[in-house]
Structure 1
Amino acid sequence: MHLAINAYFWNRPNTGSGQYTRQLVYHLDRLVRDLEITLIYPQLSGQHIPQDVPPDVNIKCLPLSAGHLGKVYFEQITFPRACRNIGADIAHVPYWGSPLQSPVPLVVTVHDVTTLIVREYRREINARLYNALVSASAKAAGHIITDSQASKRDIVNHLAVLEQNVTVIYLAASLAYKPQQELLVDMTILKKYDLPDLVLAGRKPQEASNRYPDYEGLINKLDLEDHIHWAGYIDEEDKPAVYRAASSFAFVSRNEGFGLPPLEAMSCGVPVVTSNCSSLPEVIGDAGFTLDPDDERQIAGSIIATIVQEDLAANLRQKGLAQAANFSWEKTATETLMVYDQLVGQ
């Protein structure tokens, strides 16, 4: 079987779609001997070719025009044309951006439909137009893969596709996320980010908006400037050490297709406090606190409990490691291959 993969996010391993694409290719390549894989990579002028590609995975670089229209042209025209030209048996778009028509059987992974559900993501006309395009193209795909039962329900409800055309395949944390410390490496990384009591990881929003509240104003109002630190962007290779240094990990999100960060934290032996929304209860199980994201008092109490109650924290660490062990990229790749086989065999 010859598999063509849309590699738009390959050189962006700091994104969820980039991580997913890489891990899927790495494990399919390692586990399946009779599978030929070709990455169809859109390349801007002067841009690097795909990095860290396994030696026996083919790469086909095609020119990409800058901007949103260039991305849409690649998805709708360039990628399906390349699938035909290389003689692929099946194509996979590992993010919500598949073509309306494909010359070969097509699988698309729709991680979530947050941009349809959350109003703030569809205020601009370009966002609404793109949502309409990729919604129609997902319905035209041979099969849809998604990350959770919660996302499957959203896809069936909002894209009006049949349940039997959507398969849930869970993701996983990479093997780098483990509880065992690498003492000197971890110490160096923690010093790099100068971590104090409470860390807000990720880039700080430049200003308050419909998507982001006024974090800075709230911190100042509560007189917490000396206790809260914006760590900024955390390099992927540094994340395991940052997790391991934490006493508690809070991830209070309303919409997640899967929720890799809580799984990564559990894999590192860190107690997790998260929401009872969307896919997060599926990922966490009974191995952490899953709470109403609007109940600030209960969230704060749970975070404090994981820090001051050592017996509770130890129990959650054990449960978290056991829960995280239920997810693996080998399982993800194997179940994805089954979808390919089923579609090609039709």
Structure 2
Amino acid sequence: MKIAIEAQRIFRPNKHGMDFVALETIRQLQRLDTENEYFIFVGDGPDRCLEESPNLHIVTLRCLSYPLWEQWALPRAVRRVGADLLHCTSNTAPVCAHTPLVLTLHDIIFLEKQTARNPSLYQSLGRLYRRLVVPRVLPRCRRIVTVSQFECDRIRTALGLDPARIVAIHNGYNPRFRPLENCAEVTRKYLPEERYLFFLGNTDPKKNTPGTLRGYADYVRRSAAPLPLLVADLTEQDTQAILRQIGEPNLREMLRLPGYIPNGDLAAVYNGAAAFLYTSLRESFGIPQLEAMASGTPVVTSNTSAIPEIAGPGALMVDPTSPAQIADALLRLETDTDFRREQIAYGLERAKCFSWEHTARELLALYRSLK
């Protein structure tokens, strides 16, 4: 088969979750499958993180906006190469296209009521675009792929889909996330302290940044020697607004705000952290908690949505809306040496249940079933 894969954002320097899912899966398909021919459709960008091979071709399409790229340029380019199948990897797809379609629908958060207003105009416009496009695309999908059984059940129930049309294929994590030594050289780029807590926060309401900071503030008040909190992906302006919102302006002195942390540094940052906070309100999978577990870092995670499915029964889970539970979990990791050791050992074993190779093998089987 000639298989076209949409991976529009994988060459941008500041990649996020869906970008890495597409990139890592494509790399494994490239390694595993020499039978089919792949055409990877990307946007222009400086991070050339994927190389061509005899049966994998990279096609760069340039457009003024993402909607034009996806709705106009992509279907025309796919038709030119004569693809037998188009796999769109990031929730949306061309509304008017004739190539058989596989869609990865990571979640339907954009169809759900928001817990709070999102101050990011970019994220709000993306939400609106998905609300307009996805209902129009779903009827023509040969298969819909999502990333957890939780999300599979939720999508099927909410949208009334035939169970045979949707399948759950778990994500993986990169094996470079593993226990490392001598990480201080990397972590010093982001904060001076050698011991710290780590949180990937942003303004998306589902990430629960205000609730997480409330829990951290409670921990700071109750700990005999509180550790600073390294918060990635959060600007000074947004931080100040959140601290005013939760009534904790003095907490700023305990926060370290480096902005975006490149993926290449994340393994060292996880390793250096005394604990990783993954206290989201809603996730369809949760790659960061796997990365932290695989790095030998204890994780405080949520008991909501797909997170328990991925974290497993032995994980340290809390109600993310309870600041006291977040603080209790951090304090227990800080004061109970045996429990901390057990959580590290559990995380290392749990992470072994997931890999990008397994993801790619399941996806390849799906492609072959559609011949």
Q: TM-score range by the shorter chain?
A: 0.7 to 0.9
Q: Which runs of 5+ in 2 are unaligned?
A: 194-226
Partner in structure 1 of residue 163 of structure 2: 163
Structure 1 vs Structure 2: percent identity of aligned residues?
28
Is 1:138–2:138 an aligned residue pair? yes
Unaligned runs of 5+ in 1: none
TM-score, normalised via structure 1 length: 0.88
Please give the per-residue CA displacement for 1:224-249, whole angstroms capped at 9, x wherever unaligned: 34332223211111101111111111
Counterparts of 1:309-320 in structure 2, within 5 Å, are 309-320=336-347
Q: Distance in 2 between matches of 1:92 and 1:141?
A: 10
The residue aligned with 2:268 is 241
Find the counterpart in structure 2 of residue 194 from structure 1: 191
Please tell me the residue identity of whatever aligns with 1:191.
R
Match of 1:230 among 257, 260, 266: 257
Cα deviation, residue 49, structure 1: 8.4
Shift of 1:127: 4.2
Whether the 8 Å CA contact 1:105–1:343 is kept in 2: the answer is no
The answer as to 2:84 corresponding to 1:89 is yes
Amino acid at match of 2:282: N
The yes-or-no answer on 1:277 pairing with 2:276 is no
2:53 to 52, 55, 58: 55
Q: Deviations over 1:244-271 (max 9, x none)?
A: 1111111110111211111110010111
- Please state if 1:204 is matched with 2:234: yes
Assess if the C-alpha contact under 8 Å between 2:52 and 2:58 holds in 1.
no
Q: What letter matches 1:243 in structure 2?
A: Y
Q: Distance in 2 between matches of 1:154 and 1:246?
A: 34
**Aligned-partner Cα distance in 1 for 2:43–2:251:** 45
Residues 41, 50 of structure 1: 8 Å contact kept? no
Structure 2: how far apart are the matches of 1:253 and 1:231? 20
Task: Give the 3 Å change call, closer, same or farther, for CA 193–135 of structure 1 in structure 2.
Answer: same
Deviation of 1:10 after TM superposition, in Å, equals 1.6
Q: Relative to structure 1, is the Cα distance of residues 341 and 101 closer, same or farther in structure 2, using a 3 angstrom cutoff? A: farther
Partner residue in 1 for 2:324: 297
Q: Count residues with an aligned counterpart.
A: 331
Q: How does 1:52-131 map to 2 (within 5 A)?
A: 52-56=50-54, 57-64=56-63, 66=64, 70-119=65-114, 120=117, 127-128=127-128, 130-131=130-131
3-state SS of paired residue (1:23): helix
Q: Which residue of 1 aligns with 2:244?
A: 217
One-letter amino acid matched to 1:20: V
Compared CA separation, residues 21 and 309, structure 1 to 2 (3 A)? same
Residue 16 (structure 1) aligns with: 17
Question: Is 2:179–2:296's contact at 8 Å kept on the other side of the alignment?
Answer: yes
2:83 & 2:185 partners in 1: Cα distance? 46
Q: Using the TM superposition, give the Cα deviation of residue 99 of structure 1 relative to its aligned residue in structure 2, in angstroms.
A: 1.8
Instruction: Give the whole-Å Cα distance in 2 for the aligned partners of 1:332 and 1:152.
Output: 16
- TM-superposed deviation, 1:51: 4.1
TM-score (norm 2): 0.82
Partner of 1:39: 40
